[in-house]
């Protein structure tokens, strides 16, 4: 007699839904600030180079803090870290609100608050990203990541116009909205922890109460090295990091260049926010298609397709300057990004052991986005020194290099469809 196991129904998983609300609230706060900070910097300094310095400093702070965040996520209860991170977010967002209300936003104060908020994200967001492995089973991870991509697209869709409207009233209103978002994230993180305790679930990242571990003095550097060493030893994961770094740098520098140039050309924040929303709408369409593509198309193939289209879009940006044309080009460029991300992130979550997930996540973040702080610098100084077209051509060249690296990477090309991720990952476990 045989039995049929029904597929996991993601939307009946109350713990996943609670996690999603918490993570989405935190994500909306980050989206609003990411939209507001470069425009506020340009408004206050009227200098793309100074705005680029503020953006770069925040990214560096986040990357450095992410290293510690990975260790924290593997040492401590991840849901508890989500709660602590949200409470700190309330504090920092409130401080930003007071600075804006007091007309105290300057180059220096924007630099400090951007660094503090970015460091908060680096320290605590890894825990939230890692906690999902204990909430969603492997066979549904691809669909969960596709849903998360849809959520991210919706945030971009809403974040641009909301941020533009709030910023039109004043930077303080952005701070109020961020504070409310972090408050919602804190409440739902507390609820998630309560649900886990009520169900008798041991929170990931913490040692099991039934298996006492030997008393060993923690060695943060050794733990950090273990995460990097494990990741770099995996041809199916470590081999794609250079590709990720290059495409992230090229594409993000191109988008930042476009935003800076639009603001410097006199376009209002509301229009820029509307353009961001339009691009987010296209990403949302791509995210809705992701659950159909991830189970049917190899993750490696999806990645190469997504990278190629993004590179083509970056080249296309050099040929257009009108807002509507920029939206069309960027929309086409990001159409396959949600499927690309869902495939790569889903496989990563399935392939990574739970006890290493925090450190592996932080290592992947640092290695994959290590060059990202250069993006606002390329945009800011590029616009000041060589102009919009040449800056975008530099960005396009980086994207084309990433495509060439992807096409020639055998391990990337071999990544299978969702149903074979666990089987495919097992062959590398002894490597």
Domain boundaries, the chain: 13-201+223-426
CATH 1.20.1260.10 is held by the domain 13-201+223-426: no
Question: If you average pLDDT over every residue of the chain, what do you get?
Answer: 85
The yes-or-no verdict on residue 137 having pLDDT over 90 is no
**Burial tier of 221 (Cβ tally within 10 Å: 0-12, 13-18, 19+):** exposed
Name the one residue in this structure whose structure tokens are 């044309």: 325
Can you tell me which residue has the tokens 């949600």?
A: 338
Q: In the predicted model, is pLDDT for residue 391 greater than 60?
A: yes
Mean pLDDT for 292-316 is: 92
Question: How far is it, in rounded angstroms, from Cα 227 to Cα 362?
Answer: 8
For residue range 327-379, what is the model confidence (pLDDT) as tens digits? 999 999 988 988 888 888 889 888 888 888 888 888 888 887 777 788 888 99
Q: Is 210 left (phi over 0), alpha (psi -120 to 50) or beta?
A: alpha
CA distance linking residue 316 with residue 311, whole number of Å: 9
pLDDT, residue 2, reads: 42
Please give the model's pTM, rounded to 2 decimal places.
0.72
| Residue 206 phi, psi dihedral angles, 5° rounding | -105, 155
Cα 173 to Cα 32, 34, 94, 96, 284: the distances in Å are: 10, 14, 11, 10, 26
CA distance 49 to 157: 28
187-240 per-position pLDDT tens digit: 999 998 887 666 555 555 554 433 334 344 467 788 888 888 998 888 888 878
Ranking 8-12, 180-184, 273-277, 398-402 by mean pLDDT, the lowest is 8-12
pLDDT digits (tens, 9 = 90+) for 43-75: 888 888 888 888 889 888 998 899 899 999 998
Give the three-state DSSP class for 292.
helix
Q: What is the DSSP letter of 211?
A: S
Which one has a higher pLDDT value, 218 or 242?
A: 242
Q: How far apart are CA 117 and CA 30, in angstroms?
A: 9
Q: What is the mean pLDDT of residues 279-304?
A: 86
Question: Band of the pLDDT at 163, cuts 50, 70, 90?
Answer: confident
For residue 213, the model assigns a pLDDT of: 40
Instruction: Give the pLDDT confidence of 16-47 residue by residue, as tens digits.
Output: 889 989 999 999 999 888 888 888 888 888 88
- Structure tokens of 410? 């055998």
Vertex 323, ends 317 and 324: CA angle to 5°? 95
Nearest to 388, CA basis, from 215, 262, 293: 262
The model's pLDDT over 113-133, given as tens digits with 9 standing for 90+, comes to 999 999 999 999 989 888 888
- Find the mean pLDDT for residues 246-271: 88
How distant, in Å, are the alpha carbons of 241, 243, 306, 396 from that of 402?
10, 5, 11, 10
Q: Is the dihedral of CA 84, 85, 89, 91 positive or negative?
A: positive
């Amino acid at each position: 007699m045989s039995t049929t196991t029904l597929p996991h129904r993601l939307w009946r998983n109350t713990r996943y839904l609670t996690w999603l609300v918490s993570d989405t609230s935190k994500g909306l706060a980050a989206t609003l600030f990411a939209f507001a900070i470069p425009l506020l910097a340009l408004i206050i300094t009227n200098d793309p180079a100074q705005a680029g310095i503020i953006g770069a400093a925040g990214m560096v702070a986040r990357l450095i803090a992410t290293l510690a965040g990975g260790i924290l996520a593997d040492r401590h209860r991840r849901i508890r870290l989500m709660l602590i991170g949200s409470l700190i977010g309330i504090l920092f967002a409130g401080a930003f609100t007071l600075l804006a209300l007091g007309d105290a936003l300057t180059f220096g104060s924007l630099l400090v608050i951007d660094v503090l908020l970015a460091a908060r994200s680096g320290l605590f967001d890894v825990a939230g990203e890692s906690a999902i492995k204990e909430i969603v089973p492997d066979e549904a991870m691809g669909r969960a990541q596709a849903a998360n991509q849809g959520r991210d697209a919706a945030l971009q869709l809403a974040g641009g116009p909301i941020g533009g409207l709030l910023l039109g009233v004043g930077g303080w209103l952005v701070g109020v909205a961020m504070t409310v978002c972090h408050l919602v994230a804190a409440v739902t993180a507390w609820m998630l922890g309560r649900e886990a305790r009520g169900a008798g679930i041991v929170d990931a990242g913490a040692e099991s109460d039934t298996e006492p571990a030997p008393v060993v003095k923690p060695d943060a550097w050794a733990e950090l090295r273990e995460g990097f060493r494990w990741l770099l030893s995996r041809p199916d994961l470590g081999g794609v990091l250079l590709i990720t770094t290059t495409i992230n740098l090229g594409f993000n520098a191109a988008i930042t260049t476009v935003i800076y140039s639009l603001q410097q050309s006199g376009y209002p924040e509301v229009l820029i926010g509307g353009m961001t929303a339009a691009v987010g709408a296209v990403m949302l369409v791509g995210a809705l298609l992701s659950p159909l593509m991830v189970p049917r198309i190899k993750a490696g193939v999806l990645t190469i397709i997504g990278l190629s289209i993004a590179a083509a879009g970056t080249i296309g940006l050099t040929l257009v300057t009108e807002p509507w044309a920029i939206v069309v080009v960027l929309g086409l460029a990001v159409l396959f990004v949600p499927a690309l991300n869902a495939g790569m992130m889903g496989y990563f979550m399935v392939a990574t052991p739970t006890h290493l997930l925090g450190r592996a996540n932080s290592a992947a973040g640092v290695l994959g986005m290590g060059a990202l702080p250069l993006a606002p610098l390329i945009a800011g100084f590029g616009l000041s020194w060589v102009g919009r077209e040449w800056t975008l051509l530099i960005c396009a060249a980086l994207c084309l290099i990433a495509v060439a690296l992807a096409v020639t990477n055998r391990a990337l090309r071999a990544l299978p469809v969702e149903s074979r991720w666990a089987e495919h990952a097992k062959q590398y476990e002894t490597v």
